[in-house]
Amino acid sequence: MLNIAQITKKARQLKKTLLVFVLLLCSAFMISSLLAAVFISVQAEHECSSEVCFICVKIHNAGSFLAQISKISALTLLAGVSLMAAIIPIKLNLFGNISITLVDIKARMNN
């Protein structure tokens, strides 16, 4: 059976692993967004070879990728701010000592 020290150590290791995963995921999003923007800026003034230009299709794909990433980023930012707005007052104990008991709300336990 695990004791408290072992559980705490495993929790710290899990937290570090999760932090590394999140940092890698964020860096992958940033690098892919940067590469898509660079591709669009470099290929913006290319010479179209035919009516169905492969480079124009890829520029359109990169633009739609950037639009999707920006929507995801905005929604993630909004969710994070909302979550922090809910957690900060609880962490700072801004509501005082909240203890609601059955006596406080005068609940009846019998019919």
Domain spans, the chain: 4-67
What's residue 91's pLDDT? 63
Q: Can you state the angle between helices 54-91 and 4-43, rounded to 10 degrees? A: 150
The average pLDDT across 74-94 equals: 76
Contact call for residues 62 and 36 (beta carbons, < 8 A) = yes
What's residue 64's pLDDT? 92
What's residue 106's pLDDT? 65
pLDDT grade for 24, boundaries at 50, 70 and 90:
very high
What's residue 38's pLDDT? 92
What are the CA-CA distances from residue 19 to residues 15, 24, 85 (Å)?
A: 6, 9, 22
Write the pLDDT tens digit of every residue in 28-66: 888 988 999 999 899 888 888 778 888 888 889 999 988
* pLDDT reading at 111 higher than 60: no
